[in-house]
Structure 1
């Protein structure tokens, strides 16, 4: 890890040029990374998984946010809860497997036992004055957005989650996340700062020359373009795409599928954006032949040809909802120069692998794309280490969402440390 001179975070925030990438210490400095974990990941709503990660009572899933270990638990009443994965006796990690099923949560060290609501129900040899009710597991704030799970480590989480849920719920509900299963999960350690992973995701400027698989089902025009630089053929294609978006939005919304853009990426504490966009040609899904990867459609969706609903949240997630499957992505920082990208593919809970879907076909496009993006993130991380690095300007036509991510990040950091 590169050892940088200490620069006050306030000064670094003030150095940021609007419309430009961040000064190098934001991608390299262990001190900035520590501030990111304290002010961003410990004080905002963080996407961590889906309700189908813990489908039945007693199911437990563990994930880490920096130094925190969090246990997602489905209790006997079917409610999903979140707790700090730390025994209240002497601090031993309570659950060590990433996923497991339990009757109660039992610490292997001294057998302190907690029920699925987090209450301490057994602790030997603690004396007559010991009060079990004072030593339950520490809860973590958790909210489900139509089956997408978010946690917040702060004592008082941002209150605007309800606003996001109110506006996004109707978009996500038709895909019925709660009635899916995780067909596959892939964890990829990217060789770059978490902000570089997020910046890379927020644009498709690089897609045409780096993502041959992804650009089969996706229209390049859906992610920005510069009309003044186009020839007559490309302008005609862009106009055709614009008409296709308008026509499909009207049809989808008439059928009860909200589709039009909502963009609050840098205007809310819990920033988010969504839009349903058509796929190229006769496209149905994110596959190499653009056809549905799974024969069982989600929810009560009437057709496989319903475009792709994209949903982005600050600071660490993006999601693609198709008629036949869902792909969710979360970014969890590991250190100043490494990040964990976790991808999950969800299909109808009754879909059978090898009968209703072929796993390689289901995951192929995004497995290739994730690795390509990871390589690009690594190139940027290497570049940021160079003394020659200086923040470069974003394209106003294709990197608008990158700028909004960085605006959000700088605004939230400034809110906590000042300027």
Structure 2
């Protein structure tokens, strides 16, 4: 084990140099708590904004290159690579040391292509997407889908940027209960201040950092949560599923001898789902629509018998009860006119309390508001998307419908 002592003066000089050449990262660089650690090969970070530094590594590196490594490590934290890495591992069942190394490599690819240059020399050991023949400018998740284990990995096996890069805790890290870590609120505050600095000085930060700053100020909404919330709000709205019944007389009848008053009863809401099957909707979007049908059933309490599905292009097709969802045939492929789907749903023997339309939006809409709540799940498109006319701009759904962009 090395007996070198950390040259803190040199390390602080590197941090000041990094702040001078990357002033928009100053808040983050000064938020890092430096921890001497002979166990880490170079530098590494944990999710609590501690930076573990090898004294031997500091001794052999020039100040300018040390500054680049500090910017590299703080970039992992700002871009939440630990949280994103953990989510990717859960979603793809990609666990273990090998997968953690792959996440570290992909995270390095995301940040290395836009942090060096303009005063920060690239260290010889810094890996780039081009080293594997991959394009620059992509996200960690995209790189993870594009490369797998191969003969190049042994040359990169030394990489270890810590749990702040891949989400896997290291034995030498102090953990959540250790000293000098930042709380979740403090971490969010640092990200916001950095994003604020980038937005306040347009043109000084690379495109990747500007995209990141925009996302911090306007984070994308999880559309599945929004769609579920819109549906639950619709089925629980006043008047939905309510009707008068004489099966249980109203309590007010006691005050009117000889008169029986009906009571107001709330029945489970019925939902009709109209799926756009026109030629402009892709097979992937149709598959996504069927998944959303199952989620809609869960949102209304799991009563699949109360959910009906219609496929519709220019004409409404057979209405299928959801209890046979695995056999639903999404018939269509022609033009689009969801008005026929709305009309068929409203003509049903048991009229729906809520209509959910899953569509790309290239359709005429009913001229009048349906006599029930309406939720529209709108497949994402670029603003001018059209198969036939690049200048075509689709109309937004009517104001009486609760619209949620899905798949974006």
The structure whose Rg is larger is 2
Q: State the TM-score, normalizing by the size of structure 2.
A: 0.23
Higher RCO (CA < 8 A, seq sep 6+): 1
Bigger proportion of residues as strand: 1
Bigger proportion of residues as helix: 2
Q: State the TM-score, normalizing by the size of structure 1.
A: 0.23
